[in-house]
Amino acid sequence: MLGLGTIARAAAELRCDVRSAHERDPAASGVGTAEILTTWPGVQALLAHRISHRLHRHGVPLLPRLVAHVSRMLTGIEIHPAAQIGRALFIDHGSGVVIGETAVIGDDVTIYQGVTLGGTGFQTGKRHPTVGNCVTIGSGAKLLGPITVGCNAKIGANSVVINDVPDNTTVVGNPGHPVRVEGRKVEGPDADWIHLPDPIADAMAALGRRVVELETQVRALGGTPSPGDELDESVAEVHVLRPKQGRSPAGG
Ligand SMILES: CC(C)(COP(=O)(O)OP(=O)(O)OC[C@H]1O[C@@H](n2cnc3c(N)ncnc32)[C@H](O)[C@@H]1OP(=O)(O)O)[C@@H](O)C(=O)NCCC(=O)NCCS
């Protein structure tokens, strides 16, 4: 299980992790490899995960979870030993990151602190997200359920994403919704998540207008309203509950 090939592969993976930290963390510029290996929790958590994942794959009991548990105590990053992680993942800061059992992460992904790749409840089987290559997941974002996040997608800080995200798309907010696709702002009615059509209010408003018209016609025909029965047009008004001011939510 632990041959020369394994050691060479582990060393290559470690070099790749340190390179990712240098490339994607501005705070790592000018910092030596030894310092990154000893003080970057994201790099340490990945190293621990590689060990726990291999032990898990070889069916070793207890030890994989023990390694993951100690790693979580040291780094604040919890990665299930069964989670599948690609090349050059970079977890910045790290604290509060949770990566679930059936999560799959592609290559060159960047994850910030407080990110959850979790399930939505008590389902069994595949219940955690699959994240494509070159995805960035902002701090505090929650990606829940067996969704797929496409390559080069960006997930805004604190977003809650419960639906698939296409390639090259930026998603923000709760619920997470696209604000950029292929680098372009999302336009059209689907871009506006608060000023949505309200068919029930529209139907009631139409009925209200119809009642006013009928009452007017009855009056014109000389119909005699009951005593004290003033025609009050405001009775048929429908007040649609829509915000009248503020930024468009399409812009987050
Ligand atoms: C989403 C993010 C990746 C930017 O992606 P982008 O494709 O470059 O998109 P933009 O910056 O052009 O933002 C797109 C729109 O979403 C809005 N937006 C960006 N991030 C948002 C967020 N986290 N929540 C809500 N709205 C957000 C922007 O205001 C912009 O609105 P507009 O359409 O009205 O202009 C970035 O804002 C983000 O959240 N990064 C995470 C960074 C992080 O976690 N850092 C922690 C360091 S410790």
Q: Do 187 and 230 fall into the same domain?
A: no
Mean pLDDT of 233-247: 55
Q: Which of 195, 217, 237 is the last residue of a domain?
A: 195
Q: Do 124 and 241 fall into the same domain?
A: no
Q: What is the mean pLDDT of the chain?
A: 88
Q: Do 62 and 184 fall into the same domain?
A: yes
- Cα dihedral 113/117/120/121 (nearest 10): -90
Mean pLDDT of 10-38: 94
CA–centroid distance, residue 65 to ligand 1 (Å): 35
Whether 170 is in the pocket of ligand 1, judged by its Cβ within 6 Å, is yes
Q: Do 206 and 109 fall into the same domain?
A: no
Q: Do 189 and 215 fall into the same domain?
A: no
CA–centroid distance, residue 132 to ligand 1 (Å): 19
pLDDT digits 0-9 by tens, 144-196? 999 999 999 999 999 999 999 999 999 999 999 999 999 999 876 666 665 66
Cβ–Cβ contacts within 10 Å for residue 201, how many? Answer: 14
- The total number of structural domains that make up the chain: 2
Q: Do 90 and 152 fall into the same domain?
A: yes
- For 189, the domain range is 4-195
Whether 252 is in the pocket of ligand 1, judged by its Cβ within 6 Å, is yes
Whether 179 is in the pocket of ligand 1, judged by its Cβ within 6 Å, is yes
pLDDT digits 0-9 by tens, 209-228? 999 999 889 888 886 656 55
Q: Which two tokens stand for residue 70?
A: 């100690």
Whether 44 is in the pocket of ligand 1, judged by its Cβ within 6 Å, is no
Nearest residue (by CA) to ligand 1, atom 4, is 156
Q: Do 174 and 84 fall into the same domain?
A: yes
Q: Do 67 and 16 fall into the same domain?
A: yes
Whether 112 is in the pocket of ligand 1, judged by its Cβ within 6 Å, is yes
The alpha-helical segments, DSSP class H, found in the chain are 4-24, 33-39, 41-57, 63-75, 199-220
Cβ–Cβ contacts within 10 Å for residue 223, how many? Answer: 9
Q: Do 92 and 216 fall into the same domain?
A: no
Q: How far apart are CA 112 and CA 22, in angstroms?
A: 15
Q: Do 123 and 158 fall into the same domain?
A: yes
CB 138 within 8 A of CB 159: yes
Q: Do 87 and 188 fall into the same domain?
A: yes
Q: How far apart are CA 63 and CA 7, in angstroms?
A: 19
pLDDT at 249 over 70: no
Q: How far apart are CA 232 and CA 215, in angstroms?
A: 10
Cβ–Cβ contacts within 10 Å for residue 170, how many? Answer: 24
Atom of ligand 1 nearest to the CA of 252: 26
Q: Which of 147, 178, 195 is the last residue of a domain?
A: 195
Whether 175 is in the pocket of ligand 1, judged by its Cβ within 6 Å, is no
Atom of ligand 1 nearest to the CA of 248: 34
Residue 35 makes CB contacts below 8 A (sequence gap 6+) with none
pLDDT digits 0-9 by tens, 100-151? 999 999 999 999 999 999 999 888 999 999 999 999 999 999 999 999 999 9
Whether 97 is in the pocket of ligand 1, judged by its Cβ within 6 Å, is no
Whether 90 is in the pocket of ligand 1, judged by its Cβ within 6 Å, is no
Q: Which of 157, 180, 195 is the last residue of a domain?
A: 195
Q: Do 146 and 190 fall into the same domain?
A: yes
Whichever domain contains 138, its CATH number is: 2.160.10.10
